[in-house]
Amino acid sequence: MAQPVCRPDMAIRDVRFSEMIQLKRFWTATVDVNASRCATIGGLFEIGFLRLAENAPDLEFAERFAWHPGEMELVVEFWADEAVHKYWIGEIAPCLCRGS
């Protein structure tokens, strides 16, 4: 019999985009992770991006991160001529449910 699976609740807040540093900019965000339903203390998740660029087509892509309960700061590097038009929490790998 399969064991039930859960996923942590996640929320993105405090999003910033840095000034240019050596032809790069950095998208930084705080992610709050509530993993109270999970029996594990970590897992993987993705944040999706829609990137705009001055000299290239728009690009939708995802970056993978490892989560842990609590607050996390994430950083994604972009070139100076790129901007983040949109971002979202994508796939969150399931975890075993607490009490299973």
Q: What is the CATH number of the domain that holds 82?
A: 2.60.40
Predicted pLDDT of residue 45:
98
* pLDDT above 60 for 100: no
- In this prediction, residues 30-36 reach a mean pLDDT of 97
pLDDT at 3 over 90: no
Tell me, what's the pLDDT at 98?
Answer: 84
Domain that holds residue 9: 5-96
| 100 vs 38, higher pLDDT | 38
- What is the number of domains present in the chain? 1
| 10 confidence band (pLDDT: 50, 70, 90) | very high
- Say if residue 19 is exposed, middle or buried (CB neighbours under 10 Å; 0-12, 13-18, 19+): exposed
